[in-house]
Amino acid sequence: MDAMTPEAARNAAAKTRPSREEAEAAVRTLISWAGDDPAREGLLDTPKRVVKAYEEWFAGYSQDPLKALGKTFEDVQGYEDMVMLTNIDVESHCEHHLAPIMGVAHIAYVPSGAVVGISKIARVVEIFSKRMQTQETMTAQIADALNEAMQPRGVAVFIDAKHQCMTTRGVHHPNVSTITSSFTGEFKDDRDLRERFMQMVQRG
């Protein structure tokens, strides 16, 4: 049997999604398991708040990054060099502990005749980050989406982030950053272009 694609798995999960009431009941169970009383005054509305927060933190499951990239612009007066965005905020949650991942993404592409609105690139980062993630997967997903939607001559993605699963639990190393990158097309083949991208990352 063929393995289910990530998109198919998300669609299947959506069909069996618990109700809001069931989600709130699950939060109450976790509060009890942690050792507190979910009926205590200060915790009475916590399940509602947690479920509402989950809707925001994981809104990316209901959004399509390819649609976000949608419209491209052909009239660029022959521009053929790198287009780069630096310091795009990354706010995600690791899929192993649901602990926050906080950092920045630097993204560039070399157009093949069309460009996309720069806000759309930041939107793609937001869509993929608002899912339960590993940083490695998120980095590849962003690069793949840009390649599929725009067919550029190359894409570069560089993410620098700190994982709360390392800072607040486990090994407790608050100053460790995780760095991931993905280079496609000309960024992969052209060392000078890749180095220019990295120099601009350092400036950013």
The catalytic residue positions are: 94-97, 135, 163, 165
Mention every residue, 6+ apart, whose C-beta is less than 8 A from residue 32: 38
Cα separation of 82 and 102, whole Å? Answer: 26
Type of residue at 34: A
Q: Are 153 and 116 in contact, with CB atoms under 8 Å apart? A: no
Q: Are 120 and 65 in contact, with CB atoms under 8 Å apart? A: no
Cα separation of 182 and 67, whole Å? Answer: 22
Cα separation of 194 and 170, whole Å? Answer: 35
